[in-house]
Each structure stands twice: as C-alpha cells, then as structure tokens.
Structure 1
Amino acid sequence: MGILDMIGPVMVGPSSSHTAGAVRIAWLARQLLEKPPRQVKFGLHGSFAKTGKGHGTQLALLAGVLGLTPDDERIKEAPEIARQSGLQYAFEEVELGDVHPNTVRIWLSSEGENHVVTGSSIGGGLVRIWKIDGLDAYLSGEAPALLVRHEDKPGVIARVAAVVADEGINIARIVSGREKRGGDALMSLELDRELSQEALSYLLHLSYVNWARTLKKLS
C-alpha cells in the first residue's frame, strides 16, 4: 500500500471516492469520443445516488466529461462551463444490481458517435471502468490504454498484441469481452506507454477491427 492509498490523491474535495473518483470515471469515458460530447446522461447507483449531491459527485462527473481533472479548481464551475460549451446533460437514479455502491453508468454522444460506460469509484480516488457498450472491459486510468472493438474471430487478440509488441510496448493488463462466439467483441489493454498514431491507424485498417481508440493516463 502506498501513501496515496492512505491519504488519497491531489484533488478538489470533499471526497476521494465521490469527487476525485467520479471525475476520473467521467474523464476516461470522455476519451472514447473523437469530439467533445454534445449530450450526456449519468445514471447514479447506490451511494452515488443517495449521498452524491452532498459530496459534489454530480459536479465531479460533469467536470470529468468536460475534460477537467480531479485537481482542477474549476470543478465547481462545471455547470457554467457545460452551458457555455452547449453540452446537454441529465442525472437520474438507476439500479445496477450487485455492484459497488459508488457506481455510475454514463451515456455520452457526439455527432453520430455514442458510448455507454459503467464504472465504479473503489476508494482513495481509484476507479475501475468495467463495462463499455455492454461488453466487459478494464480501465483504471493508471496507465495508457488501448480499446479495440472487433469481430470475434481467431487470431485477433494475437494480431493486436503483435502490433503492440512491434512498438516495443509491454501489455500490463488485457481484458476481452464478447457478446457471443463470432459476434461483437471488445479488447481493453493497459500499456506501459501510449501506442503511436501510426500503430493505431494500422489497427483501424484491419478488416475485422470496427473501432479503436487510445486513452491517456490520468496523471
């Protein structure tokens, strides 16, 4: 256990779980879009729904999708920043079943592109995104990441891993989720450093890759 696990991250308060963690989840979700979101809906589960308002969770989530980080003093100004940018947003309470109480489901859309992200704030500002567009995933924001949406067929994971290896990059963690055998699948990889744009472009030109995105580490 490190010192940050005990005292929490550098952040705007009041809560590492309800504030810093909420910013992190939404900041990661924002990176799935090529362009800034135009519409966002937050589904708050458990304690995020019951006590989140007093802890600033709604402000934090909104700040995250606007690209603000946990230590940004403008978090409290998120509604005004959203208004100026033309972002439409809404909050609702949802029941997501047997999941961590600090969990949110975020639907976000921009110019024909939309995604649904489900993540949890697990304490000390640490987060886990574990569903993207209904498929199993793993993102923590603690490392650069690569997401690849693809056809479920033999050899795809090996091909993507080879592209990463050719860049001289180690894979720290990989999770693969699929709807069904031969259907839609999603790879989420956390890497030792960010994949180059050239490698990403190569992946996007593979016939069995439908969508791919690199995500930055939240420092």
Structure 2
Amino acid sequence: MTFISAFNVLGPEMIGPSSSHTAGACSIALLAQQMADSPVKDVEFVLYNSFAQTYKGHGTDLALLGGVMGFSTDDKRIPKAFSIAEERGISYRFIEAAQDPDIHPNTVDIHITCQSGRSYSVRGESLGGGKMRISRINHIDVDFSGEYSTLIIIHYDRPGVLAHITGCLSEKNVNIAFMKLFRETKGDIAYSIIEFDGTLPDDAEDQISLNPNVQDVIFIPIQRRI
C-alpha cells in the first residue's frame, strides 16, 4: 500500500476537479512525454475501469492530453488541451477498455509516436491524492513514482552492466535512493530504474551509454512536489 498524508488528500496544485482523475492522470502523461526523443506526433490513450467510466466528466482526457504536451498539473492551458493539440498537429484517440478487476481502477496505457518515428508505450496508475506510479514500459513490468529524479536504462541483461552503471553514477557523486532491475527473460532486454536525489551531471548519460550492452539512457527530472 502507498502512504498518503493529509496533504496528499487535499491534493497537489492542480487544474481540477479531481486529484486522482485529473492531477494523477496529468502526471502520468507528463512523465510519459518526458521519455520522448522529439515532439509527440500521435498518441493513443487506453483507459481502464474507473478512468474509462468517468474520464469525460472528470477532465481526465484533457489532463492526459495536456500531460503529453508537457503541461504540469497546475497548467492553466489544460482546459484548452484539445484545441492546442490540434494547433500543434498532434493526433490523439481515447479508447475505453473492457473492465478488468486485475488492473488498478485508475489505469491508462499511453501509446506514443514521436516526430522522429520512435514509438513506445507507458502504463500508469493514479493512486489518489495526485500520486501515481508507472507500472509498465513497453512490454516490461516496472515500478516507480516520479517523485525522485529518475534514470531509465534499457540494456541487455549481461554481467557487469549494473556495475558499470553504478560506477558511473558514483564517479559523478549521484546519491541513489532506489535501484531496481526489471526483465522478462534472463539474458534478454532489461530495464534498470534508478531514482536519486538532485540532478544528473551533463555527461553522465553519455558515460553510461559507452557500455556496448546499453541500448538507451533516459533521464527524467523530478516531476513534482506535492
């Protein structure tokens, strides 16, 4: 269970009406957008359970679309997200998935195609009080909150890769708060998720990428403070 304080119940600074259906949704989409290598060209939102039932009335659709355009939870442009997306030439779709009791009530799958042609997907869950977690990237189950600065390192599951990553961060005086490795099959593609305090030195990503088993390094700065 995720701890939620009285301040979380009140919710973050946001364009309402709901901390879970609006602010949490915006935070999920904003984090997904921060993984893009170029502006978003096309996006599909697959909504589950409560999200699918109430997204129009609670402004979840506006919040999600605003998030993938880089809007934070308190951005006054969120109510105009549809028209702004059209101005930017972004195509978007909202799909209501069948009810699934095995999935968190407030879950969305975001499928993004960038102007560069890169495509990826992110699954997020809005936990209440503006809190959220990312539970899947592409086909790999992961788990992180966006409440710390985060490195997502996609690499082959080979001996020595984690030692290389942690060695690079140690040299740069990066203080790791949490580090988790996620994979489907031994020796195949793995995702190392590293949450840490502060910022990332400019050349740290390049240094990590020098290992031939590292495919991609994505840095997501701390997203919000509730």
Tell me the TM-score range normalised by the shorter chain: over 0.9
Structure-2 residue corresponding to 1:67: 70
Runs of 4+ aligned residues of structure 1 deviating over 3 Å after TM superposition are none
User: Matched residue of 1:194: which SS?
Assistant: coil
Q: Is 1:178 matched up with 2:183? A: yes
Q: Secondary structure at the match of 2:13?
A: coil
Equivalent residues of 1:178, 1:185 under 8 A apart:
yes
Q: Does 1:56 align with 2:59?
A: yes
Written as runs of structure 1 = structure 2, the 5 A alignment for 1:121-200 is 121-200=126-205
Q: CA deviation at 1:175?
A: 2.0
Which residue of structure 2 lines up, in the alignment, with residue 93 of structure 1? 96
Aligned counterparts of 2:144 and 2:35: Cα–Cα separation in 1: 12
Task: Flag the 1:82–1:152 CA change in 2: closer, same or farther, 3 A.
Answer: same
1:103 aligns with 2:101: no
CA drift of 1:116 comes to 0.6
The unaligned stretches of length 5 or more in structure 2 are: none
- Partner Cα distance (1:194, 1:154) in 2: 27
Q: Which segments of 5 or more consecutive residues in structure 1 lack a partner in the other structure?
A: none
SS in 2 for 1:63: helix
Equivalent of 1:8 in 8, 11, 24: 11
For 1:98-155, what per-residue CA distance to the aligned partner results, in whole angstroms no more than 9, with x for missing partners? 1210000000011221111001000000000011011122231211100000001112
What's the counterpart of residue 83 of structure 1?
86
| Separation in 1, partners of 2:125, 2:118 | 23
Q: CA deviation at 1:87?
A: 0.6
The answer to which structure has the higher helix fraction is 1
- 1:33 aligned partner, one-letter code: A
Q: Deviations over 1:150-190 (max 9, x none)?
A: 00111212221121122111211122111211111111111
Post-superposition shift, 1:3? 4.1
Secondary structure of the structure 2 residue equivalent to 1:5: helix
Q: CA deviation at 1:194?
A: 2.3
Measure, in 2, the Cα distance between the counterparts of 1:151 and 1:181.
Answer: 9
Measured against aligned partners, the alpha-carbon deviations of 1:39-76 in whole angstroms (never above 9, x if no partner) come to 10000001000011100000000000000000011100
AA of the residue aligned to 2:23: A
Contact 1:38 1:86 in 2 (8 A): yes
Quick one: distance in 1 between partners of 2:46 and 2:18?
Answer: 19
Maintained 8 Å contact 1:48/1:103: yes
TM-score (norm 2): 0.93
Structure 1 contact 194–214 (Cα < 8 Å) conserved: no
Q: Are 1:210 and 2:226 an aligned pair?
A: no
Give TM-score scaled by structure 1 length.
Answer: 0.96
**One-letter code aligned to 1:155:** G
Question: Which letter does structure 1 place at the counterpart of 2:150?
Answer: A
Paired residue secondary structure (1:158): helix
Structure 1 residue 22: Cα displacement: 0.3
C-alpha offsets along residues 69-102 of structure 1, whole Å, 9 cap, x if unaligned?
A: 0001110000111011111110101246612100
Q: Percent of pairs identical after alignment? A: 41
